[in-house]
Structure 1
Amino acid sequence: MRADDAPGVQRPVHIIVPFKQSDAKSRLAPVLTPEERRLLAFTMLRDVLAVVSSYGEVTVLSKPGLKKEELGVDVAISQSNLELNEAINAFIDSHAKHGWPSDILIVMADLALLTRDVVEGILDCDGDVVLCPGRGGGTNMVLTRSPRFRTCYRGLSFPKHCAQAKRLGLRLNIFESFRAGCDIDEPGDLAEVVLHGRGDAPLMLKKMGFELAKEGKAELKRVANREFKSSCKL
């Protein structure tokens, strides 16, 4: 057993945050303009980076064109034309070839409800692979302590990731979290941001003219159908 495998000793971790710039958050198109979706996507990314950057080295994976000044914190950017799984798994391959200097925590960029307690919670979990399920069968965070594990995002990724870990004989743990399980993809998700978000994303939605409906279930409505002016700077 390595010294940093001992109970109570935090192992080093490298956090990967994949980010899609082009046509970001397309499923929010019924309620947000392309510019509003871009601004919200960047705001959620910045909120996520502000939370995870205290826990280790951070790398944002993106297609070419992302600028450091857009991120709000000093983190690394790895840009390529690879798709999501290929980009993540290429990073894992490289990490393994360099002797696996740290574990890898993959965090989706649209976890607008993420807090430090959630990050600490998954890092404290035992196991070679720790998965945090999202709603609808997705996987919102992955902690891998094994260089053999690879991601298989798209579609029902959570059962795929579980099956792969078991097939490889890796110790699998499941970390369930309301905050980490709530990724922001659909118009109905935006109410959760205003209700439970602690970063800048709730403020951004309010600047866009959204407020919680005063009656019925939690949902957002746009005040006076006001169109947001993109004078708001990132």
Structure 2
Amino acid sequence: MSGLFYHLNRQMLVAVIPVKELSRGKARLKPLLSAQERHLLCKTMLEDVLAVVTTSPLLDRVLVITSDAEAAVCARQYGAEIIGEVRQVRQSRSVEAAAAICRESGAEAMLTIPLDVPRIRANDLDRIVEHGSVPRGIVLVPSRNALGTNALLARPPEAIPFRFGYDSFQAHRREAEAKGLPCAVCELPNLGLDIDEVDDLRCFIAQPGKTRTDRLLHRLGIGERLGIETGV
């Protein structure tokens, strides 16, 4: 392994991306996107995240935990490993299962990243790891509304119970406090902008980028549907 994390800490860092069935994703976008469009959006966002995470020299392994065959094929194409599950009951439960595997494999830290942050960049990973250089602790990256958790670095992997869902950012902070662990907050605009609701799409399109997701939304005419002029 090479990179800043190795030279400073010489510890194993594993990334985990939980992915539920692509056809079930982004239900809150139903007012704007068809089922086929939501499916395609989920797959495209996953590709954007994988393209960055699987090429980071900071990460020893990238694990995708999913029951979706298409997502698994996509992940393997980028060099990620698959943790199979029958069905994602809750994101937290999936991450807990991945954390146990990380611990058993000797990982000292686990970085959980959702599939719906397609603007993620390599320097975002650098910032998270720099914030999480303590022997034990948590790093949280909040969503733009400070309710969700858009990345979580846990050292060790099972340092806290996971509380993904509504207001997970504060829930994770409380869990770290209850365990007596330091909890660093790392605000990153690229990771803060997830795509979960129609208003998220407005914000995303209003700040044009060069991702696969940007190109997909442009091709589908989502900006026009929302009354936003785009220059992608």
If the TM-score is normalised by the length of the shorter chain, which range does it land in? 0.7 to 0.9
Question: Which of 109, 117, 124 lines up with 2:130 in the alignment?
Answer: 124
Q: Distance in 1 between matches of 2:228 and 2:5?
A: 46
Q: Where do 5+ consecutive residues of structure 2 fail to align?
A: none
Compute the TM-score of the two structures, normalised by the length of structure 2. Answer: 0.82
Per the TM alignment, residue 67 of structure 1 is displaced from its structure 2 partner at its CA by 4.8
Q: 142, 145, 149: which one pairs with 2:152?
A: 142
User: Aligned ranges for residues 33-48 of structure 1 at < 5 Å?
Assistant: 33-48=34-49
Per-residue CA distance 1:115-142 (angstroms, 9 max, x = gap)? 1111111011134110111134110100
Label 1:132 to 1:69 Cα distance change in 2 as closer, same or farther (>3 A).
Answer: same
Please state how far the C-alpha of 1:76 moved relative to its aligned partner.
1.2
Report sequence identity in percent: 25
Aligned to 1:73: 78
Q: What amino acid maps onto 1:105 in structure 2? A: L
Distance 1:163 1:48 in 2: 28
Measured in 1, the distance between the counterparts of 2:126 and 2:103 equals: 24
Contact 1:133 1:181 in 2 (8 A): yes
1:68–1:23 CA distance, 2 compared to 1 (3 A): closer
- Whether the aligned pair in 2 keeps the contact of 1:191 and 1:212 (CA below 8 Å) is no
SS where residue 171 of structure 2 aligns? helix
How far is 1:191 from its partner?
A: 3.4
State whether residues 68 and 74 of structure 1, in contact with CA within 8 Å, keep that contact through their aligned partners in structure 2. Answer: no
Instruction: Flag the structure with higher helix content.
Output: 2
Q: Return the alpha-carbon distance in structure 2 between the equivalents of residues 201 and 5 of structure 1.
A: 29
CA contact (8 A) 1:113 1:196 kept: no
Please report the TM-score for the alignment, with normalisation by the length of structure 1. 0.81
Distance apart, 1:197 and its partner CA: 3.2
1:69/1:89 CA distance change after superposition, 3 Å: closer
Contact 2:23–2:35 (Cα < 8 Å) also in 1:
no
Deviation string for 1:78-101 (max 9, x for gaps)? 121242111110121232234x32
When residues 41 and 220 of structure 1 are mapped into structure 2, their CA distance, relative to the original with a 3 A threshold, is: farther
Q: Could you say what the CA RMSD is over the residues aligned between the two structures, in angstroms?
A: 2.6
Q: For the residues of structure 1 that align with 2:150 and 2:227, how far apart are their CA atoms? A: 23
CA contact (8 A) 2:117 2:194 kept: yes
Instruction: Please tell me whether Structure 1 or Structure 2 has the larger radius of gyration of its CA atoms.
Output: 1
Compared CA separation, residues 219 and 187, structure 1 to 2 (3 A): farther
Partner of 1:201: 213
User: How many residues are aligned here?
Assistant: 214
Q: Counterpart of 1:232?
A: none
Pick one of 72, 79, 102 that aligns with 1:95. 102
Is 1:105–1:142's contact at 8 Å kept on the other side of the alignment? Answer: yes
- 7 and 79 in structure 1: CA distance in 2 versus 1, 3 angstrom threshold: closer
Does residue 24 of structure 2 align to residue 13 of structure 1? no
* Cα distance in 1 between the residues matched to 2:194 and 2:109: 23
In structure 1, list runs of 5 or more residues that go unmatched: 223-234
Render the CA deviation track for 1:29-78: whole Å, top value 9, x for unaligned: 11111000100111011000101112321111112433543344121121
Q: Name the SS of the counterpart of 2:15 in structure 1.
A: strand
Residue number in structure 1 paired with 2:165: 154
Distance in 1 of aligned mates of 2:115 and 2:97: 19
Residue 54 in structure 1 maps to residue 70 in structure 2: no
